Amino acid sequence: KMADFFFLDGCTLECHLDYPDEPPRKKKDCVDSVDRKLANEMMTWLDDELQKSQAPVKIVVNHWPIYSAAKKGHGDFKKLQSYLLPLFKKHNVLMYFSGHDHLLQYLKVNHDETSVTHLFGSGAGGYHGG
């Protein structure tokens, strides 16, 4: 097996993960029926599945970007940074694909001398104004 893909429910994570500096989102992107318990269970699932993976390449896919180069819109998602980046370092996740922002971006996160994650974002060509 060359690669394992891990798909996350981005709206669940962004709307309901606990983060001290940011209240849960209350907007059209959030589904009211989804709760914090499910978001925390998803993070536990991701940690467990990344730990079990024997694939040399681990790729995580999520709707929301961790960092955003868009000039208009939401900007960076500190909540996702605080939850996902430590897992990416811990489990050597090589790539993270996201959408949401209607632009094309590539960023490289150097966790340390031996661990790096490549972040790719694409909003499929719609206009975002960024």
Please enumerate in sequence order all residues whose Cβ is within 8 A of that of 129, keeping only pairs 6 or more positions apart, or say none. Answer: 70, 71, 72, 73
Q: Which residues are catalytic?
A: 74
Inter-residue contact 55 to 2 (CB < 8 Å):
yes
Helix ranges, the chain (H): 10-16, 36-52, 78-90
Distance CA 57, CA 86 (A): 17
